[in-house]
Structure 1
Amino acid sequence: MYPLSVEQPYPREQWWVAAYSSEVGRELLARDILGEPVILYRTEAGKAVALAGICPHRAFPLSKGCLAGDAVQCAYHGFRFGADGECQHVPSQTSVPQNARLRAYPLIEQAGLIWLWTGTPDRADPSLVPDLHALGLGRDDWAVEQHPLATVAARYTLLIENLLDLSHVTFIHHRTIPAGEKVAGIPTQIIETETSLTVQRRGENLPLNPLLAIQFPGRTGPFHQHFDAEYFAPCLIRTGGAMYDAATGQLLGVQNYLHLLTPAAPSRLHYFVNTARSFGVDRPELGDMQVAMGARIQPEDIEAIEAIEQVLQSGASLPREISARVDTGALKVRHRLEMQIRAESQGRAG
């Protein structure tokens, strides 16, 4: 499935963000994840739960049901399933049918995010969740903003490639990102580790722009600013980076934009964004500004990748794909993702 050369559209032995912590409570929350309906809720003790969202009795959507204590009750015939997925009660008989259970997904709740494991349960290793603390989440010395969830009518790989080639900022976001016109001309360098790939951009001696003037009052510039795109896994990409006073080399702060991607289906995705900064922690107006900017910037990215998705699904004859040097990072990530999916397929075959 374009742009990958493998049939399976996404890896399943993987943690994905299912929801913000604030979304999950004592009402059933429905969310499609990797093509499967899932319901999320909290037990009376406050623990988050994720179960398959279709009743095995007659395929009724459990999101239309309700909670009975910590159990989910189907609204069709009253079958009741515990937080572990096991069927507890069938109103029309005294016994429970054999194999009457729902899939219960392993969950991790960290830094205001609920992560769900879509693979084999005994492989759900918490250490495979990216190091959120290192990126600024869940820390008292950083400020974090959670942006509204967007569900996008496009395959998740299109958003991955959008984020890894930030030269689009100069064109798609020319009205919304201050100094964005400089980004396309900044040289890139690829830095690879076993767990990440970074397309590194180092803007040098950039003039003061309106955003930096607000974030760092009293500074007159110029600035050195990093415009990085760091891929950790298909679930998380970090953009942004450090900002320095060009005259002294003093680190002024780090601004990370954390893009959390979860496929809803082969051609639909859930898009969570957190911003995290190491400066101005006691200035909430900076957070308000980031959320307001995101409300203008994010729709521009969504419009672009949804337009590509429409072309891909139109049946039109596509031109042979060409790439530029700036696409090196995205092409390497394609290969990483294909290898991850192939390794899963080979493991199942074995």
Structure 2
Amino acid sequence: MTETFLKNAWYCAGWDSDIGIGAKDLVVRKIAGRPILLYRKLDGGIVAMEDRCPHRSAPLSLGRKEQDSIRCMYHGMLFGPDGKCSHVPGMATVPDDARVPSLPVVERDNWVWVWMGDPAKADADLICEAIGPGNPDWILKTNKIQIKTNYRQEIQNLADLSHVSWVHEMTFGGTEDWGYIKPKHNVTPRGIETRYCVRQVPAPAFAKHLFPEDARFDIQVHVRMSVPCNFILSFAVHEAGDATSGPTNGRLLLDTFSSQAVTPRDDDSIDYYFSWGTSKATYIPGIVDLMHTANMEAFLEDKRMLEGQRERMLEFPNAPLVDIVHDAGPGRMLFVLDKLLQEENEAAAAREAAQ
């Protein structure tokens, strides 16, 4: 069977604050079609394992914590953090195959990352570089949202910020200039890197009240996208300079950073974890709260558009689609994803043929 999700990749399972150490803190995330149970051990480390008892497939998330282990509350089987069953009530010997698949898990930048593929290939260096709310040099606020769309549509949305002028007219937009940007997309082994400058634009709609009507700014943008769908954004606001190409030469006013991780739940829905804020060096009292509110409103604008798009795509599955200039970024990002998927599927087919 051809897989639509990469296995050998780190998937975001939420913010570290989502997973507590309490007796009832059993968190379930559906990741790439697979239910994953997450909980903390006594030392604070996180356990990630399949949310399924190997006896009759009861959800382990309906069980209870017992120190570092999890007890299935259907027939009382006890599983350690490595997934191995250590006790079956009524049996002196535990069956050898009484084991739950456990998964590598890493906490970094206040995110929780789960490796869904071969544990031997779980390289923490493949986790995207980001800035978390715990970084002392930044003031960031976090949030999350669920969207009923396929993650490939979200990839296309994030790899093409020309839609800011239209989808986000009342929040991030306020100018049509975003529809005329010509970014350069450099392909990396697991994604793309994009840089560009939007010049001589008014303040975004959510902040226009802070400035005179004739105020103009340069927006310096640096995006790093990586599979499965991570979007790391440096968004720096400068006074409008006189440079017409390359980086702006205007004075830096506000240095902002957004870390965004999109996790496919299945073919039809995603979990979206995101942050936005400013460096302490350019912080203005109240600005991060304003940005956070605008960010949430903008992502609800995305949600409406993406869910509407998904609905029409399912209704018209064979309808032809027209490519335009702004599809360059999405095309490159999906090329990288599909290349890695093809490699995994071919390797899986070869293993199956050899058996």
Q: Deviations over 1:119-154 (max 9, x none)?
A: 100110110111225xx665321222211x222221
Structure 1 regions of 5+ residues with no counterpart?
A: 1-5
SS of 1:98's partner is: coil
SS of 2:54's partner is: coil
Q: Is 1:233–2:231 an aligned residue pair?
A: no
Correspondences of 1:1-350 after superposition (within 5 Å): 7-25=2-20, 26=22, 27-133=25-131, 138-147=134-143, 149-209=144-204, 221-239=215-233, 241-247=235-241, 249-279=250-280, 283=284, 285-314=286-315, 316=316, 318-348=318-348, 349=350
SS of 1:296's partner is: helix
Tell me the distance in 1 between the aligned counterparts of 2:33 and 2:188: 31
Tell me the distance in 2 between the aligned counterparts of 1:279 and 1:69: 40
Aligned residues: 340
Tell me the distance in 2 between the aligned counterparts of 1:214 and 1:67: 52
Report the CA distance shift for 1:43/1:284 in structure 2 as closer, same or farther (over 3 A): farther
Report the CA distance shift for 1:317/1:29 in structure 2 as closer, same or farther (over 3 A): closer
CA shift, 1:191, in A, is: 3.0
SS of 1:313's partner is: helix
SS of 1:168's partner is: helix
Tell me the distance in 2 between the aligned counterparts of 1:251 and 1:33: 39
Tell me the distance in 2 between the aligned counterparts of 1:244 and 1:126: 35
Please say if residues 219 and 238 of structure 2, whose CA atoms lie closer than 8 Å, have aligned partners that are also in contact. Answer: yes
Q: Percent identity?
A: 27
Please say if residues 202 and 208 of structure 2, whose CA atoms lie closer than 8 Å, have aligned partners that are also in contact. Answer: no
Please say if residues 253 and 279 of structure 1, whose CA atoms lie closer than 8 Å, have aligned partners that are also in contact. Answer: no
Please say if residues 39 and 53 of structure 1, whose CA atoms lie closer than 8 Å, have aligned partners that are also in contact. Answer: yes
Q: Deviations over 1:241-267 (max 9, x none)?
A: 222222462233432322201111122
CA shift, 1:281, in A, is: 6.4
TM-score (norm 2): 0.87
Tell me the distance in 2 between the aligned counterparts of 1:209 and 1:176: 7
Tell me the distance in 1 between the aligned counterparts of 2:162 and 2:223: 11
SS of 1:67's partner is: strand
Please say if residues 265 and 271 of structure 2, whose CA atoms lie closer than 8 Å, have aligned partners that are also in contact. Answer: yes
Aligned AA for 2:262? Answer: L
SS of 1:261's partner is: strand
Tell me the distance in 1 between the aligned counterparts of 2:339 and 2:317: 28
SS of 1:294's partner is: helix
Please say if residues 190 and 336 of structure 2, whose CA atoms lie closer than 8 Å, have aligned partners that are also in contact. Answer: no
Tell me the distance in 2 between the aligned counterparts of 1:344 and 1:161: 22
Tell me the distance in 1 between the aligned counterparts of 2:285 and 2:35: 37
Q: Deviations over 1:220-257 (max 9, x none)?
A: 84321134543222231134522222246223343232
Tell me the distance in 2 between the aligned counterparts of 1:98 and 1:227: 54
Aligned AA for 1:223? Answer: F
- The answer for the alignment partner of 2:244 in structure 1 is none
CA shift, 1:200, in A, is: 3.6
- The answer for the alignment partner of 1:3 in structure 2 is none
Q: Deviations over 1:180-236 (max 9, x none)?
A: 533112333323344542344421122345656788x89x84321134543222231
Structure 2 regions of 5+ residues with no counterpart?
A: 242-248
Aligned AA for 2:162? Answer: S
Please say if residues 280 and 286 of structure 1, whose CA atoms lie closer than 8 Å, have aligned partners that are also in contact. Answer: no
CA shift, 1:337, in A, is: 0.6
Q: Report the RMSD for the aligned CA atoms in angstroms.
A: 2.5
CA shift, 1:317, in A, is: 5.1
